[in-house]
Amino acid sequence: MIWEVFRQEKPGDYHTHCGNVHAPDREMAKQFAVIQHGRRKPTESLWVVPQEEVGEVDADEVAFGGTTDKSYRWAMAYTSSTEHAKEVIASQQEQEQAEADRQRGDD
């Protein structure tokens, strides 16, 4: 069976998908993943998940974030002031980045 593998590079990071392995069970999936996906890249932790347990929904099936204007959800829509606490500015910058990534995906 196939196991999807998620790697965390260092403590505190997110586990992100990095590949998969064939293995007969969870124990062997972990052993194989250690070598196949953790032997060179910095690795703090790996997760293995049976591929058949992964549910998927993709952009053909659903319009992520909607198709009508939802700019009211974004900090950028509010322009009554330009002075903000630093964490508010940081949040807006992250949102601008996410929105830019979304727009790129639409092209």
82 binds other proteins (CB under 8 A): no
b/e map 36-51, b = 16+ CB within 10 Å: bbbeeeebeebebbee
51 binds other proteins (CB under 8 A): no
Q: What's the distance, CA 46 to chain centroid?
A: 15
Q: What's the distance, CA 52 to chain centroid?
A: 19
| 10-49 positions binding other proteins, by CB under 8 A | 11-14, 26, 45, 47
Which residues make up the interface to other proteins (CB under 8 A)?
Answer: 11-14, 26, 45, 47, 53, 55, 62-63, 66-75, 77-78, 80-81, 83-92, 94-95, 98
